[in-house]
Amino acid sequence: MANPGTGGRNPDLERAVDAVTARYEAANPASRAHYERARKSLPGGNTRTGMFYAPFPLAIETAAGATLTDVDGHTYTDFVGDFSAGLYGHSHPAIRAAVMEALDRGMAYGSTTPYEARLAELLCAQFPSIERIRFTTSGTEANLMALVTARAVTGRDSIMVFEGGYHGGTVYFGREAAPIAVPFPFLIAPYNDPEEAKRLIRENAHRLAAVLVEPLQGASGAIPASADFLGALREACSAHGVLLIFDEVMTSRLAPGGRQGQLGIVPDMTTLGKFIGGGFSCGAFGGPAEIMKVYDPARPESFVHHGTFNNNVFMLTAGAAGLENVFTAPMQAALNDAGDALRASLNELAARHSVPFRATGLGSLMNLHLQRAPIRSIRDIAPRDPRLRQLLHLDLIDKGFFTTRRGYITLSLAIAGPDCTGLIEAVDEFLTRHGHLLDTAPAE
């Protein structure tokens, strides 16, 4: 327990955090200088909130394969994978060749190209729910387009979402309301509660256009949806004429047909993003031809869907090259098997050390949590002293492993067996040295 005489402070934790922070600051003067300079033109020194962490973030200058190099010249094994967008690692030869070829052919055509049909055909062939698809420039935009489409085709205005859901920077439902959320009428339901979801759909069907769900909640801690939960959503939506939308921006990498293909649960619409553009900014939304025909401009009553960079040649060419030549079904299976093995090894460490620590997730997507209790929803995540996160994060950086402050990890194809072994050893050493603090640190 914390010393009562310190007013709830934990002196051992404070000393450990102060020590690792001091080492971090001393080792990274160029990153600190970059941060201070960037703050003069960017609020907080960044243009992507998730990139910030105290005392200042590393400034990465170059990358190759699974290795990042910062402006101070330090190298790290990349276990962030750009939050699952960096599936192919950095500068994969097949992706690089496709991009160089695109550069030689020109960049901004302002016209349709053969390349958009090529990537569209690949994606339609993979996902059971997608007969027709439209591209966007991000997963956020893809989700917004799916929502406005559902509202337009059903004539209803409300959307059911779930506690902890993240569908982009303006469609997020964490522990606190997001002040910049889009102003749709949202009905927020508990995640992984089949009976409550069915009840809410039944009672609100007259106003529900769609149910939007992640088959695995990424931003809230890599929490998988159970098959029973997703199956209950499918059953209730079908019974009451509500569109079911799977946000597979992250989970599309888990199997050739995404999570829907794994489970055999087919939604009415699907949104994609992250890796499908080969590492370039991308997004997509799709569904059956009967729904997506509203975007056929040859029809006089069609909806307008513009977007200057929806069919940018880099995303289309790199994305197709990756799907055709690199991310084959055997490669996909091997990557996700490696993720399952890594997660199992991390959980074995927690059991061996008998400390509050666990790894959740599916396949190549996972999150480290500082608790013993199982996690089925954001409600199950216990509040912990945020300094514990800082201690683990900076300790792993000190050992040469780049992860996120919140503990989110994604594997890229460039990650090899020795990289995973190194991370396991680093976590083992951390739990050996600091595991006692996980039991004694007070909650936030």
For residue range 207-245, list pLDDT tens digits in order: 999 999 999 999 999 999 999 999 999 999 999 999 999
Residue 40 phi, psi (nearest 5): -75, -20
Nearest-5° Cα angle at 296, 294 to 298: 125
* Structure confidence by residue, pLDDT tens digits, 69-104: 999 999 999 999 999 999 999 999 999 999 999 999
Architecture of domain 4-57+64-90+334-440: Alpha-Beta Complex (3.90)
Length of the chain: 444
191 is known as an active-site residue? no
pLDDT band at residue 6 under the 50/70/90 scheme: very low
**CATH number assigned to the domain with residue range 93-325, chosen from the 4 options 3.40.50.150, 3.30.450.40, 3.40.640.10, 3.30.465.10:** 3.40.640.10
Q: What is the mean pLDDT of residues 128-148?
A: 97
* Structure confidence by residue, pLDDT tens digits, 240-295: 999 999 999 999 999 999 999 999 999 999 999 999 999 999 999 999 999 999 99
293 is known as an active-site residue? no
* Structure confidence by residue, pLDDT tens digits, 349-393: 999 999 999 999 999 999 999 999 999 999 999 999 999 999 999
pLDDT band at residue 8 under the 50/70/90 scheme: low
Delimiting residues of CATH 3.40.640.10 domain(s) in the chain: 93-325
Model confidence at 5: pLDDT above 50? no
Q: Which of 78, 247, 385, 419 is catalytic?
A: 247
247 is known as an active-site residue? yes
Is the Cβ–Cβ distance between 304 and 113 less than 8 Å? no
Delimiting residues of CATH 3.90.1150.10 domain(s) in the chain: 4-57+64-90+334-440
Mean residue pLDDT across the chain: 95
- Per-residue confidence (pLDDT) for residue 440, from 0 to 100: 73
Q: Which of 193, 274, 385, 395 is catalytic?
A: 274
Tell me the C-alpha distance between 337 and 332, whole Å: 9
Q: Which of 166, 172, 191, 408 is catalytic?
A: 166
